[in-house]
Each structure stands twice: as structure tokens, then as C-alpha cells.
């Protein structure tokens, strides 16, 4: 078929044709038109079905990924867990970030706190209207118990998501609700009683969908008017940054270009007394670029393939995700850098010992969660990191 | 050859593969380059010492009498051989631009794997955000996902639950569209009072890119979506947070895209490589990164990031759930907070405007804190749910000023003052602050963040 059409194309270009050929041409062209129509149909069909793209999901695949739990509890796994079973899991896997009582504000905002027995009755958390309430805990906010189950089962613990079984999740959730005085000490939470426990959620009536910010046609909250002249009598400044916060985001001069119409203000110094003038500006761009900005320049121009040993330990620490478990001064999953330095600084063999620990992993010194082996690091890098932790913290 | 030129500062000079330069010529060029470079080096050092010793006025006089040293001196880039092609196989910005990088706001979050880095809007031009400066928001850290192991599942209320590989997806008929992504919490620090100094930290959770991918409707149709029963979709990410968001089916079948391309290349890992959802006009969290699953359902899901986080507290103690649309907003990016003007005279005041409900129709700019306004020039192309750049001429007379911009979108919505929003939403709702931004310019040329009432 295809060959036929090609022949037609070749003969069709000729201006002079003998009658016999003409007959043949008519035949050919009819066939060619038929061919083209058929081809066109085939293409249309293809564009709707995308033959060969995608395949049917197997039931096991859907089961493996479809773990979400809706407010009507669709998707809730069969299982159960007691408050008392939740306690050891909590202490091993949750307390390091969330505190023994779910009250910690160190790493994340508190999970527990700010709710009352009256809230549980009413289904609205009264402290949410109190502007003096310092933090909004998770249990002050969340309306649906399904959201908590899904949260824990899907994304917790922080550094090992999806490592809890369904029963573990029921137990941890039961323990957390017990900490919030929603469930009694001897309670066993299960897929069978989740709907009843939903009726005890302190803020279960605290959500609204009545607003204009979900569906595109909804009406906005406010209707401002675009006045063009003499719109306000007096312009009053109601808020500005206090002087002591001038350098809180570090030197703004280094966060702008050192040339062009606008520089960054040098926030390591008080504001300049008067307009600097263009000559000073020209000088600034010619020579007096802050030294740290030159340092930044060289840092960002390091080619990506640079051996990690050339990287400053602070950057290496960041690049290797060490910060996921270790903060500078507060305890996260692992000890803070300050704590490590304080403990090991004075020991003579600490550098070698800690280097080995970084490379091979360790357990038990700072808590239940073991330090995983960082065998992707070179020995030199591990040494550099340890040295940096011990000498600068 | 290579031995002869070792140690030259312009080194790494190699023969072209064709060997079309003979050795003598190459040596000659290189030798002259070296001489010029040395001469220039000595001259610059001398001038540098002069400037330090005599200060600005002497240099100014010198410049007036003779001319600009930048012109009179031979510069090294004009007098020596430059670097070869592919010296940076993947190009990087000039070292002089090193200050303009993504930054965290100190003290905003306590764990950097669940944090934000802000786009340096104070130094950007036009409507497209460079991919390397696209703001970051991760909920449980980011990974480089192996695209060969990435899958997209579509399940729920469809005739056929399906799996797609990257190969499947990238063979489908693709579209490319320019849209903004703005985090719902952008400018959220400023609800109660001024909290941060620069536009990077007040507004830097917005970026705008050209995205390439396939309409979600194409995939849903392919699976035989049940549009009678299916009212919502759930989008899920492959990261540890398993980010999940509910999206109304109308939006899903309208302009939502499943994208792999960003500004002509694959998505950056921090922005969802190899696949993300793009929900134009909605808060960024809906554009789920590392997209691995779409479920069609008949009810909203109240997932963690729409039941515990990303809910807006109202003064009456209720939380608004599923707030999504990023309403019309604008901000002047130059000059802006933390910047320093050096002289009086002409400036091109420039900024960006956008709306989650459509296109930008007009932007007005005030230099007197909102008393009087002038219409700014809109730069094209003006696209729906995309950043529009605006500019306005200004001759600054050196007296204190308060700069504001106010955008109007295709629905007629006018960007409101902060007090108007506070009357409805109070000061603790965190999300969706699209108020007019004010920058105070002092007589000393320094710009700072203020609010006016």
C-alpha cells in the first residue's frame, strides 16, 4: 500500500503523460486517496487511545500505594493498638522530636496541649480565639482523626517514614490521644471504633469550607477600589523593623549586586548619614566589594565534580544531610553539635573514635535511635567533619 | 606543546581537535597575551594604590581630566585569550552574581529539611525565574529520584487503574505553558507586622517558569475517569512526606498539568524531578512534587497538609480548609527593602504582578504611600496565572518616599491594603496574604520594609 502511494507521488510530478499511464494514474490515485483516508482514521484513533502507553495497575500495586485514609474512614486498615502499647513506640520513635508528652516546641510545634474537656464536648477549641495562646498544637487544629492516622502511617517517624505497621499506628495514635486526655489509659483504638473516637476530637467542628478560595468562580473576601488621586488624607507608618533587627538577616549588601542602580544596604553598620553619591558607588563597585562576597563567589564557582575533601566542613555537613538528625545546639533525632563537642572535646582519642563512628555507625550513646553508617564519606571527609564539630562548637 | 604552556594563568589552552593552528602561531598569540596581561596587571595595581591613597574626589578629578580608567586601561578580557568552549559544561552564573542566591530566613524554621529557601526577587528581571533560583519548600527533605524507577499510578473512580513510566508519559502529546507557583504562606510573616527586611523574604516564595508536560485530563480520559461520581482528585508525592492534596475535578480536567519540563530542561530535583503536578493559580503545595499517584474520589481527603497544616485561622476560631487560590498580588522588586540608592535622578521602578484567577489587567504605582497613583507599563507577554513584569519611570528628587504597587486582574479584583484583609481574616491566618506592599525610601537612599495605615 505504502509503495503504491510512493509510485503515485513519483509519476504525479510529470507534466506529460501518455493515455495508458493516465489510466494507471487514475487507478493509482484512487488507491492512494483510499490509503490516505484510512491512514487519517488510524491516526485519529491513535490520538485518543495512545496505543502502547501505560498499562493496567495490578491489585497488589494499588494496595501498596493507595494508603490514604479519608474522613469517612475509607481506606482505614484493619488493626488495633492499645494506649499502653503506644507508649514504648512513642518513647523510642516520637519523643525525641515531639517530647515525652507531645508538648515539645523544640523541633516542631507541639502536638498536644491547649484543649479542654469542654472542647471535647463541644467540638470546638476555645483557645483558638485567644490571641494570647502562644502556639497552636496539632490537636487544637485538626478536626478529623483520619488525618492523624494518615499522617502517622504515611510520614512518621520523621526520618523513617512508613516504617510503622497499621497496629503500631493505632497504638501511637491512641497514646497521643491519651496524652491529650481524649482517651483513657486502658483504651484500645481500632478500625472498629475510630468513628466513635472521631466524635471526641476537640476541634471536630472547627473547619469551614465557606470561603472564596477553592473554586475559581467563588467570590473573594474583599473588594478594594482603585482610587487614583488624593486617596488618603494622612499616610501613617504603622509598622517597621526595629533597629536591633537591622542585621538579623545578615548583611544585605551581600544579598544584592555590587553594581547597577541599587546596592544592598550594609547592615553591619548603622544607616549612612546622607546619599552616598555616584562616585562612592563607582568605587564600591570597583574595589570594595565585601570580602565575604568574594568568598561566596569562589564557593559557588566550585565545579560540581570537586572532590568532597575540598568542601568546607559546614557545607559538607549540609550536603550530606547530617542536619536531618543533628542541629547546632538543640537535640533533634541525634545529639546537637554542641553536645557532641562538650562530651568529646577533652578526650584524647575522640577524633579517631568519632570518625569511625561516623563511617561505621553506632548505637546507644545518645538514645535509642542508632547513628546510621555514613560509608559514602571518604575517611578524610569524616575526619574533617569530626574535627569541625569538635573545634568550632 | 602542553609542557611549554604549563603554568600560564590563562592555561588549559588546548589545540582544537582539527589542529588548524600551527604551533608557532599558537606560541606567538599566547606569548603576546601573556605580555599584555602582565602590563595590565601592573597598571591596575598602580591605579588601585592611587585610588586608595587619594580617595574618591581625586579619582573623580582624574576621570574628568583624562577619562575613565575602565576605558583608558586595557582590560585583561580584551587583551588576553579567553577560556575555551565547554569550560563549564553546564553554564553557571558569573561570580559577580554570587550574592543572588536562594536563602533561608533565619529563625523561621527549626529543621532545614522541612523549611523554605526564598527566591532573590530583588535581583531578577522579566517574568521567568531562573531554575536554580526557584524557591524551595520541602516537607521531609528532597531526593534525586531515579527516573527509571519513577512511576505514576492513577486509581480510584476510573474504568481502568493504570501505571505510567516516564517513557509512557514523555511519549504523550505535550504542551508547554508559563505559570507561577506561589506558596500559600508567601508574605505570611507580615500578617501582624513587618517581620523581615527584603523582598526576598517577604515575597520570595513565588517563581514563574515555562513548564512542559501533559494535561492531567489526557491521562484521566485515558483511564476512563468517572466524571459523574468523581468530584475530587488526590495527588500524592513520592517523597517521605508523601505529600497529598485534594483538587476539585473541575480544575483537574481544566488546566492542571503533569509536568517533567521546566524552562526547557527537566525539572530540578528540588522542584520535583522527574515529575510534578502543576495546578495553575493554586497555592504551591497543590502542585505536588515527585508526583507518583492520582486518585479519583467522590469526597475531599482532609490529608495532613489540608487538615493540620495549610489551614487558615479566622478571628472566630474556625479554620478555613482547602484554601487554594492565590489572589491578585504585586510587589515592587527594585528598589525594594534593604536596597540602597546612591544618587537622586532617574530610576526605572520595576516589579511583578500575578493572579491565580486570570491575567493582570493593570498595575498602579504610588510614590507617596498610596495618596496618588500612576499606571505602570506592563511588559508582555501577559499570560493567565503567570507573572507579569511592570515598570514605571521615576525621577527621584531625593526626598523621602513610600513606594507601593497595586495590581488589578481580569476579574476586576483590586489588590487590597493590608488593613482591609485584616478586617476579615485577622492577623493569625498565616496563608494568602496578598496585601499591597510598602517600601519606605529615606533621604539617605536606604529602602526599608514598612506598613502604612
User: What sign for the dihedral angle of Cα A171, A172, A175, A180?
Assistant: negative
Q: Is residue B385 part of a domain?
A: yes
Residue B107 has a pLDDT of: 85
Burial class, A353, CB count within 10 angstroms (exposed 0-12 / middle 13-18 / buried 19+): middle
**Residue A224 is nearest to which of B97, B300, B415, comparing CB atoms?**
B415
> What's the average model confidence in pLDDT over A19-23?
44
* Chain A CB contacts of B153 below 8 Å: 57, 61-62, 65-66
What percentage of residues in chain A have a pLDDT greater than 90? 55
What percentage of residues in chain A have a pLDDT greater than 70? 77
Q: Which of A172, A198, A224 is the C-terminal boundary of a domain?
A: A198
Q: Is residue A327 over pLDDT 60?
A: yes
Residue A7 has a pLDDT of: 36
Q: Is residue B414 part of a domain?
A: yes
Query: pLDDT tens-digit profile of B181-211?
Result: 999 999 999 999 999 999 999 999 999 999 9
Q: Are residues A387 and A312 in the same domain?
A: yes
- Which residue in chain A is spatially nearest to B104 when comparing CA positions? A249
Measured in degrees and rounded to the nearest 5, phi and psi for residue B80 equal -135, 170
* Chain B CB contacts of A208 below 8 Å: 314, 318-321
Q: Are residues A114 and A15 in the same domain?
A: no
- What are residue A264's DSSP bridge partners? B339
Contact between A371 and A357 (Cβ < 8 Å): yes
Distance from CA of A99 to the nearest CA of B (A): 15
**Residue A129 is nearest to which of B316, B323, B335, comparing CB atoms?**
B316
Q: Which of B320, B344, B372 is the C-terminal boundary of a domain?
A: B320
Q: How many domains does chain B have?
A: 3
Chain centroid to Cα A256, Å, comes to 27
Angle, vertex CA B327, rays to CA B326 and CA B333, nearest 5: 90
Q: Provide ipTM, 2 decimals.
A: 0.85
Q: Are residues B187 and B206 in the same domain?
A: yes
**Residue B98 is nearest to which of A210, A293, A304, comparing CB atoms?**
A293
Q: Are residues B114 and B234 in the same domain?
A: yes
Residue B43 has a pLDDT of: 42
Query: pLDDT tens-digit profile of B307-335?
Result: 999 999 999 999 999 999 999 999 999 99
Please, which residues 1-40 of chain B have a Cβ atom closer than 8 Å to chain A?
none
Q: Is residue B308 part of a domain?
A: yes
Which band of pLDDT confidence, cut at 50, 70 and 90, is reported for residue A290? Answer: very low
| CA separation for the pair B23, B33 (Å, rounded) | 15
Chain centroid to Cα A68, Å, comes to 18
Q: Note the pTM of the prediction, 2 decimals.
A: 0.78
Contact between A392 and A340 (Cβ < 8 Å): no
Q: Is residue A291 over pLDDT 60?
A: no
Q: Is residue B383 part of a domain?
A: yes
Sheet holding B312-313, edge to edge: A207-208, B319-320, B312-313
Q: Is residue A109 part of a domain?
A: yes
Contacts of B161 (CB under 8 A, 6+ apart): A56, A57, A62, B153, B154, B155, B223
Domain CATH number, residue B307 = 3.90.420.10
Q: Are residues A193 and A104 in the same domain?
A: yes
* Chain B CB contacts of A298 below 8 Å: 95
Residue A24 has a pLDDT of: 45
Domain CATH number, residue B356 = 2.60.40.650
Q: Is residue A10 part of a domain?
A: yes
Q: Are residues A97 and A25 in the same domain?
A: no
Residue B7 has a pLDDT of: 32
Q: Is residue B15 part of a domain?
A: no
Q: Is residue B98 part of a domain?
A: no
Residue B340 has a pLDDT of: 97
Q: How many domains does chain A have?
A: 3
Residue B188 has a pLDDT of: 96
Q: Are residues A7 and A101 in the same domain?
A: no
Which band of pLDDT confidence, cut at 50, 70 and 90, is reported for residue A391? Answer: confident
Which band of pLDDT confidence, cut at 50, 70 and 90, is reported for residue A134? Answer: confident
Q: Are residues A125 and A40 in the same domain?
A: no
Q: Is residue A32 over pLDDT 70?
A: no
Residue A364 has a pLDDT of: 61
Q: Decide which of A82 and A316 is more confident.
A: A82
Q: Are residues B363 and B382 in the same domain?
A: yes
Peptide bond before residue A157 is cis, with ω within 30 degrees of 0: yes
Q: Decide which of A383 and B374 is more confident.
A: B374
Q: Are residues A193 and A108 in the same domain?
A: yes
Residue B64 has a pLDDT of: 59
Residue A173 belongs to domain spanning: 80-198
Q: Give every residue of chain B whose pLDDT is below 50, as ranges.
A: 1-58
Q: Are residues A192 and A147 in the same domain?
A: yes
Q: Is residue A160 part of a domain?
A: yes
Q: Is residue B84 part of a domain?
A: no
Q: Is residue A180 part of a domain?
A: yes
Q: Are residues B173 and B259 in the same domain?
A: yes
Q: Are residues B357 and B446 in the same domain?
A: yes
Q: Is residue B390 part of a domain?
A: yes
Domain CATH number, residue A171 = 1.10.760.10
Q: Are residues B430 and B351 in the same domain?
A: yes
Q: Is residue A171 part of a domain?
A: yes
| 3-class SS of residue A254 | helix
Q: Are residues B133 and B245 in the same domain?
A: yes
Residue A365 has a pLDDT of: 72
> What's the average model confidence in pLDDT over A66-93?
98
* Chain A CB contacts of B139 below 8 Å: 155
Q: Are residues B122 and B210 in the same domain?
A: yes
Q: Is residue A347 part of a domain?
A: yes
Please, which residues 54-113 of chain B have a Cβ atom closer than 8 Å to chain A?
56-57, 59-60, 88, 90, 92-93, 95-101, 103, 105-107, 110-113
Query: pLDDT tens-digit profile of A206-238?
Result: 999 999 999 877 899 999 999 999 999 999 999
Residue B58 belongs to domain spanning: 23-79
Q: Is residue A301 over pLDDT 70?
A: no
Residue A47 has a pLDDT of: 52
Burial class, B382, CB count within 10 angstroms (exposed 0-12 / middle 13-18 / buried 19+): middle
Q: Are residues B155 and B280 in the same domain?
A: yes
Q: Are residues B136 and B255 in the same domain?
A: yes
Contact between B272 and B211 (Cβ < 8 Å): no
Residue A380 has a pLDDT of: 82
Q: Which of B293, B320, B347 is the C-terminal boundary of a domain?
A: B320
Q: Are residues A320 and A375 in the same domain?
A: yes
Residue B228 has a pLDDT of: 98
Residue B11 has a pLDDT of: 33
* Identity of the highest mean pLDDT range in A41-50, A82-91, A278-287: A82-91
Range A168-188 burial, b when 16+ CB lie within 10 A, else e: bbbbbbbbbbbbbebbeeebb
Q: Is residue A9 over pLDDT 50?
A: no
Amino acid at each position: 500500500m505504502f509503495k503504491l502511494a510512493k509510485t503515485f507521488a513519483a509519476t504525479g510530478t510529470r507534466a506529460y503523460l501518455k493515455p495508458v499511464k493516465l489510466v494507471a494514474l487514475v487507478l493509482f490515485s484512487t488507491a492512494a486517496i483510499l490509503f490516505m483516508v484510512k491512514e487519517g482514521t488510524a491516526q485519529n484513533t491513535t490520538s485518543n487511545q495512545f496505543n502502547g502507553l501505560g498499562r493496567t495497575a495490578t491489585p497488589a500495586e494499588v494496595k501498596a500505594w493507595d494508603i490514604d485514609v479519608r474522613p469517612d474512614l475509607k481506606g482505614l486498615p484493619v488493626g488495633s493498638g492499645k494506649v499502653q502499647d503506644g507508649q514504648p513506640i512513642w518513647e523510642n520513635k516520637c519523643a525525641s522530636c515531639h517530647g515525652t508528652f507531645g508538648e515539645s516546641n523544640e523541633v516542631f510545634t507541639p502536638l498536644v496541649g491547649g484543649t479542654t474537656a469542654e472542647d471535647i464536648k463541644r467540638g470546638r477549641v476555645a483557645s483558638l480565639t485567644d490571641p494570647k495562646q502562644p502556639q497552636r498544637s496539632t490537636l487544637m487544629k485538626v478536626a478529623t482523626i483520619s488525618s492523624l492516622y494518615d499522617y502517622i502511617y504515611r510520614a512518621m517517624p520523621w526520618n523513617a517514614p512508613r516504617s510503622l505497621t497499621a497496629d503500631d499506628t493505632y497504638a501511637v495514635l491512641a497514646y497521643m490521644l491519651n496524652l491529650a486526655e481524649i482517651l483513657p489509659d486502658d483504651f484500645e483504638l481500632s478500625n472498629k471504633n475510630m468513628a466513635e473516637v472521631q466524635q471526641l476530637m476537640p476541634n471536630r467542628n472547627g473547619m469551614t469550607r465557606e470561603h472564596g478560595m477553592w473554586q475559581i468562580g467563588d467570590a473573594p473576601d474583599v473588594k478594594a477600589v482603585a482610587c487614583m488621586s488624593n486617596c488618603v488624607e494622612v499616610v501613617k507608618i504603622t509598622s517597621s523593623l526595629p533597629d536591633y533587627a537591622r542585621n538579623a538577616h545578615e548583611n544585605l549588601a551581600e544579598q544584592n549586586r555590587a553594581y547597577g542602580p541599587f546596592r544592598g544596604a550594609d547592615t553591619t553598620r548603622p544607616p549612612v548619614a546622607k546619599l552616598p553619591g555616584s562616585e562612592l558607588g563607582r568605587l564600591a563597585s570597583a574595589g570594595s566589594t565585601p570580602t565575604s562576597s568574594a568568598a561566596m563567589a569562589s564557593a559557588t564557582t566550585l565545579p560540581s565534580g570537586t572532590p568532597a575533601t575540598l568542601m568546607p566542613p559546614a557545607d559538607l555537613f549540609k550536603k550530606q544531610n547530617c542536619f536531618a538528625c543533628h542541629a547546632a545546639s538543640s537535640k533533634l533525632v541525634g545529639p546537637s553539635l554542641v553536645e557532641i563537642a562538650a562530651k568529646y572535646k577533652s578526650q584524647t582519642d575522640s577524633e579517631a573514635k568519632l570518625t569511625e563512628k561516623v563511617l561505621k555507625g553506632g548505637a546507644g550513646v545518645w538514645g535509642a535511635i542508632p547513628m546510621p553508617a555514613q560509608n559514602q564519606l571518604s575517611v578524610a571527609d569524616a575526619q574533617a567533619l569530626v574535627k569541625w564539630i569538635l573545634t568550632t562548637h | 606543546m602542553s609542557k611549554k604552556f604549563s603554568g600560564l594563568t590563562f592555561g588549559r589552552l588546548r589545540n582544537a581537535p582539527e589542529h588548524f593552528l600551527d604551533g608557532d602561531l599558537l606560541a606567538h598569540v599566547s606569548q603576546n597575551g601573556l605580555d599584555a596581561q602582565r602590563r595590565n596587571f601592573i597598571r591596575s595595581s598602580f591605579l588601585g594604590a592611587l585610588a586608595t591613597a587619594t580617595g574618591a574626589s581625586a579619582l573623580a578629578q582624574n576621570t574628568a581630566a583624562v577619562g575613565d580608567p575602565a576605558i583608558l586601561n586595557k582590560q585583561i578580557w580584551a587583551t588576553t585569550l579567553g577560556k575555551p568552549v565547554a569550560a563549564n559544561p553546564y553554564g553557571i552564573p558569573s561570580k559577580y552574581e554570587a550574592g543572588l542566591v536562594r536563602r533561608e530566613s533565619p529563625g523561621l524554621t527549626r529543621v532545614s529539611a522541612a523549611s523554605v529557601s526564598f527566591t532573590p526577587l530583588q535581583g531578577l528581571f522579566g517574568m521567568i525565574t531562573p531554575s536554580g533560583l526557584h524557591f524551595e519548600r520541602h516537607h521531609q527533605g528532597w531526593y534525586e529520584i531515579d527516573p527509571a524507577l519513577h512511576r505514576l499510578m492513577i486509581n480510584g473512580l476510573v474504568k481502568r487503574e493504570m501505571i505510567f513510566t516516564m517513557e509512557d508519559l514523555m511519549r504523550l502529546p505535550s504542551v508547554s505553558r508559563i505559570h507561577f507557583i506561589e506558596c500559600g504562606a508567601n508574605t505570611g510573616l507580615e500578617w501582624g507586622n513587618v517581620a523581615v527586611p527584603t523582598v526576598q523574604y517577604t515575597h520570595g516564595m513565588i517563581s514563574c517558569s515555562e513548564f512542559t508536560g501533559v494535561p492531567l485530563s489526557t491521562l484521566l480520559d485515558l483511564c476512563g475517569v468517572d466524571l459523574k461520581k468523581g468530584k475530587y482528585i488526590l495527588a500524592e508525592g513520592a517523597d517521605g512526606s508523601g505529600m497529598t492534596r485534594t483538587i476539585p475535578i473541575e480544575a483537574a480536567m481544566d488546566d492542571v498539568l503533569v509536568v517533567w519540563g521546566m524552562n526547557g530542561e527537566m525539572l530540578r530535583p528540588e522542584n520535583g524531578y522527574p515529575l510534578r503536578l502543576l495546578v495553575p493559580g493554586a497555592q504551591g503545595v497543590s502542585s505536588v512534587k515527585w508526583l507518583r499517584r492520582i486518585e479519583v474520589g467522590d469526597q475531599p481527603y482532609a490529608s495532613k497538609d489540608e487538615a493540620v497544616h495549610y489551614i487558615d485561622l479566622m478571628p472566630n476560631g474556625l479554620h478555613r480548609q482547602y484554601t487554594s487560590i492565590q489572589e491578585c498580588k504585586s510587589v515592587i522588586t527594585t528598589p525594594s527593602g534593604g536596597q540602597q540608592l546612591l544618587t537622586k535622578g532617574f530610576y526605572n521602578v520595576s516589579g511583578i504582578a500575578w493572579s491565580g484567577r486570570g491575567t493582570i489587567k493593570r498595575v498602579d504605582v504610588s510614590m507617596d504611600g498610596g495618596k496618588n497613583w500612576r499606571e505602570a507599563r506592563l511588559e508582555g507577554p501577559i499570560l493567565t496565572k503567570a507573572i507579569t513584569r511592570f515598570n514605571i519611570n521615576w525621577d527621584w528628587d531625593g526626598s523621602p518616599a513610600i513606594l507601593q504597587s497595586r495590581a488589578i486582574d481580569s476579574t476586576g479584583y483590586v489588590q487590597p491594603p493590608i488593613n482591609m484583609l485584616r478586617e476579615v481574616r485577622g492577623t493569625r491566618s498565616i496563608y494568602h496574604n496578598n496585601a499591597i506592599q510598602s517600601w519606605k525610601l529615606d533621604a539617605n537612599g536606604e529602602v526599608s520594609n514598612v506598613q502604612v495605615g
